[in-house]
Amino acid sequence: MHVTVQEDRTIARVTAASLRDRKKDGATSTHDKIAVLTAYDYPSAQILDEAGVDIILVGDSCGMVVMGNPDTLSVTMDDMVRHTRMVSRAVQRALVIADMPFLSYQISPEEALRNAGRLVVEGGAQGVKLEGSVEKFGNAIAAIMRAGIPVMGHIGLTPQSVNQIGGYKVQGRSPECRIRLKDEARGLDQFGCFALVLECIPADLAAEITSLVSIPTIGIGAGAACDGQVLVLHDILGWGTTKFSKTFGDVRGLMAQACRAYVEEVRTGAFPDPERAFK
């Protein structure tokens, strides 16, 4: 009898549950931290997925880095659905999480669920992220989770509250704010969020929160002790960087060079060369 052993080519998908397990197993504190990047379109998402990024976040930062706005506040649900769909079409392994934009979850739990549902059904996301505490948005988070949609929390510097905060400032420096952030982290963990973004807080506070909660913490400007790190794609590729980010490759410079070379060749007639002409 001949037995054909078929190679299993299916790619194991990252899930909200597998990320929680990675923390539970202790892997995220040593050799297997969680790598998260933002993406907003098909070709970028394909590159990130092939590079092994665990979570691709369709961030409302697209309002700033793609649309050129000064903040994230004018990003709409339609924008997020469109960008999430572009990303999810490209991804085979990573977990695709979509940001809930400003006013998509703050008005009522019903609207929050309807909007989270659009990101899953129309956008193809496997979960959503929203900014704020259980105290403020527990009803919205509960409604979304009741429908089976995983929720990622986001505390510390929450860009949708930039007007209230008075700028993009480090949070959690005062003793009161440290206590509040620890309470918020514990609350979101106990409420059932699968992961928690900690943005722009002191490294020692992020370390404390990381050991306090059972879910993975994903830091951005929050030091090295978090279970994972997230950065905005355009920041690592040379489109401007913040103190906590790093340019991992000058893609902006390469694009500028390629575009200048194209302009030059068109001007001088060097492009198109005869081999490219149809006969």
> Would you tell me which residues interact with ligand KIV (CB under 6 A)?
38, 57, 59-61, 99, 197, 199, 220, 230, 232
Q: Is 152 helix (H, G, I), strand (E, B) or coil?
A: strand
Contact status, residue 90 vs residue 125, Cβ threshold 8 Å: no
- The residue number with the shortest CB distance to ligand KIV is 59
The phi, psi pair for 61, rounded to 5°, reads -60, -15
DSSP label at residue 160: G
Output 60 or 189, the one with its CB closest to ligand KIV: 60
Residues in Cβ contact with 263 at an 8 Å cutoff, skipping those fewer than 6 apart: none
What is the closest distance, in whole angstroms, from the C-beta atom of residue 179 to ligand KIV in the complex? 23
Please say if 199 is a catalytic residue.
Answer: yes
In whole angstroms, what is the distance from residue 1 CA to residue 259 CA?
61
What is the closest distance, in whole angstroms, from the C-beta atom of residue 154 to ligand KIV in the complex? 6
What is the closest distance, in whole angstroms, from the C-beta atom of residue 3 to ligand KIV in the complex? 49
Output 45 or 277, the one with its CB closest to ligand KIV: 45
Output 79 or 199, the one with its CB closest to ligand KIV: 199
Residues in Cβ contact with 154 at an 8 Å cutoff, skipping those fewer than 6 apart: 129, 130, 131, 132, 196, 197, 199
Terminal C-alpha separation, the chain: 56
What is the closest distance, in whole angstroms, from the C-beta atom of residue 2 to ligand KIV in the complex? 53
In whole angstroms, what is the distance from residue 125 CA to residue 127 CA?
6
What is the closest distance, in whole angstroms, from the C-beta atom of residue 235 to ligand KIV in the complex? 9
In whole angstroms, what is the distance from residue 206 CA to residue 85 CA?
32
Per-position DSSP letters for 173-239, written without gaps between them: -SHHHHHHHHHHHHHHHHHT-SEEEEES--HHHHHHHHHH-SSPEEEESS-S-SSEEEE-HHHHTTS
Q: Is 84 left (phi over 0), alpha (psi -120 to 50) or beta?
A: alpha
Output 28 or 217, the one with its CB closest to ligand KIV: 217
Output 26 or 240, the one with its CB closest to ligand KIV: 240
**Catalytic, out of 50, 199, 208, 275:** 199
* Catalytic residue IDs: 199
